[in-house]
Amino acid sequence: MTNYNEDYQYDSCISRGICSVNPRTSSLQEILLLYLNMASYYALKLEENSQTNTKIKNLILNTISVMVSNPEFSENDFQAIVKGFNEELPALIQSYEELCKKNGKKAEYLKTPVKINKSSDIAESIRFGQKEYQKRIKNLNEETQDLYRIVFVLAKSICINILDLESFGITEGYPQILKLLNSLNIESEEKELKKIIKEASDFDNFLMKKLYTAKTEKYGKQQAKEVSYSTTKGKAILVVGSNIRELEIILEAFKDKEIDVYTHDEMILAHTFPKFWEYKNLKGQFGQGMENCLLDFATFPGPIILTRHSLYNVEHLYRGRLYTTDFASSKGVIRISNNNFSEVLKGIEDTKGFKTGKICEDEVVGYDFEKLTNEINSKIESFSRIFVIGINGYTKEIQNYFKKLLEYIPEDILVVSLFSCKEKNNIISVNACYDSFAMLKISEEILEKYNKPVTLFFPTCNRHTVSKMIYLSKYPNAEIFVGKCTPITLNPNLIFTLTKVYGIKGLSTPKKDLKSILEKK
């Protein structure tokens, strides 16, 4: 970003473990996965007979949502979710039994180590979770283990998109989630797992496109927009995450109060939709993103609202000023229910706000898709192949890699860069910022339209990156590279399977990668 201070290079996301998965959380997640598998088994039986248990549906989707965000489960959080399953599963199973009786069929029960209504403390749960994980992978080779992990990574991505679509009043995808979770109950061959993964990635990308359409219909067509990084004197709220529908609700709740609203991380994309230009209390973007959240959150003088799916491990972050709209909250984070922001208002009273404000350089964020594709169309015939470089990360390693790569790329290759860089005759640059969907939209447009070799670079990862890469790998003219990702988004071990099965490669050095690309005809 143009106002990025390289001398103040905090990567607190990695250095302090904010974006990592700790063993304690992994063990508790294993138990929740067992409950999800059990619930999905019986819920799918009912769904196939046009019966939907709404309570179980909400519990399944919200539990996956919590697991996506990797919060530091407190005893109360974990046991509240388990209690929910223990309360709802007996009725779910009973409904299944009644259905079988009605249809004259014998009920078939899922074998599971989970004992409903068995109470346990966190220490016992962690031991149980570790034991069950070891049992689950005991007879599986590494590639099969990774394929099962990919299935669940896709389930998480699909779940986020389902919940985000629901915030726009669109209900779609629940049966597919049940089928995907239920596939984890069956010991499948690698061939079958690959088929499941392909179908899941196809469906997930369908949901992403549907979500993009819902946003543009409600908020207007995305455009390039100059976003302020300056601050204004007065009380303020920071909104973190990616669900712009939640930002709209917050802006509406505070629009008649003398309280300014700033965005953080992916929420900056709201500024590219015309509807949000109408809110005078939306001042601009604050901070450098989740990679630097430790510094950003510590220096923001007001309440911080973490929207759905943005609950990273906040163990090291400021307590008492963090709020969340998510299904469960981490220790020290206050939960907001039913869009009731009364606790946030109380929190504002105890904060100072910005004393004077500070002038910073603005930044142009976003792009016009039609304008970009027209420019590509006008140039494409003069080039032998195409490079599409996705949104950039903020680590020096990634920045330096692509700075050097752009220097080495021959002039007969057309580069479409989704982060700002120096434009040349063979380089088209826009600032898509955190807009990871832009990579999917532009890449698919190019891959389908032009019969030329296309190399796709994913410099950084989010929760949908694996799904996008697998989806795009189906194109025969696509070659895909991915940068280093935090463990919460992409387990480092998975890259070996992604390379072997889908041809997705990890970045090495600019010269080495460029050489391997150009050697292929």
226 shares its domain with 213: no
**How many residues does this entry show for the chain?**
521
Structure tokens at 298: 């510590």
> What pLDDT was estimated at residue 312?
53
344 shares its domain with 228: yes
C-beta of residue 270 within 8 angstroms of C-beta of residue 263: yes
- Single out the residue in 363, 385, 410 at which a domain terminates: 363
What's the mean per-residue pLDDT of the chain? 86
322 shares its domain with 436: no
What is the domain range of residue 104? 15-217
Residue found by looking up tokens 């996506």 in the block: 68
Number of domains in the chain: 3
CA distances 32 to 64, 204, 383, Å, are 9, 22, 51
User: What is the rounded distance in angstroms from the CA atom of residue 354 to the CA atom of residue 300?
Assistant: 8
> Is residue 355 assigned to a domain?
yes
Least trusted range by pLDDT, from 78-82, 108-112, 251-255, 363-367: 78-82
Whether the per-residue pLDDT at 6 is higher than 50: the answer is no
Exposure string of 325-353, with b = 16+ CB inside 10 Å and e = fewer, is bbbbbbeebbebeeeebeebeebbeeeeb
CATH number, residue 408:
3.40.50.2030
Exposure string of 49-72, with b = 16+ CB inside 10 Å and e = fewer, is eeeebeebbebbbbbbbbbbbbbb
DSSP H or E stretch at residue 235:
none
263 shares its domain with 117: no
Structure tokens at 196: 């499941």
- Single out the residue in 159, 186, 217 at which a domain terminates: 217
pLDDT tens per residue, range 313-369: 555 455 557 888 876 666 677 788 888 888 888 888 888 899 998 999 999 999 999
> What pLDDT was estimated at residue 450?
93
> What pLDDT was estimated at residue 487?
64
Classified as helix, coil or strand, 371 is helix
49 shares its domain with 110: yes
C-beta of residue 225 within 8 angstroms of C-beta of residue 215: no
Provide the pairing of β-strand 454-458 with 282-285. Answer: unpaired
> What pLDDT was estimated at residue 398?
87
23 shares its domain with 171: yes
C-beta of residue 29 within 8 angstroms of C-beta of residue 156: no
Structure tokens at 371: 């304008």
Alpha carbon 214 to chain centroid distance? Answer: 18
Classified as helix, coil or strand, 357 is strand
Structure tokens at 269: 């994309």
C-beta of residue 114 within 8 angstroms of C-beta of residue 135: no
Structure tokens at 324: 């969340």
- Single out the residue in 186, 217, 248 at which a domain terminates: 217
> What pLDDT was estimated at residue 521?
63
- pTM score of the predicted model: 0.88
Structure tokens at 248: 């709209």
Edge-to-edge strands, sheet with 413-417: 427-429, 413-417, 385-389, 454-458, 478-482, 504-506
Q: What is the mean pLDDT of residues 377-394?
A: 89
> Among the residues of 317-384, which ranges form H helices?
342-349, 369-379
User: What is the rounded distance in angstroms from the CA atom of residue 246 to the CA atom of residue 241?
Assistant: 9
pLDDT tens per residue, range 466-504: 999 999 999 999 999 998 776 666 666 788 889 999 999
> Is residue 267 assigned to a domain?
yes
373 shares its domain with 341: no
User: What is the rounded distance in angstroms from the CA atom of residue 187 to the CA atom of residue 436?
Assistant: 33
pLDDT tens per residue, range 214-237: 999 999 999 999 999 999 999 999
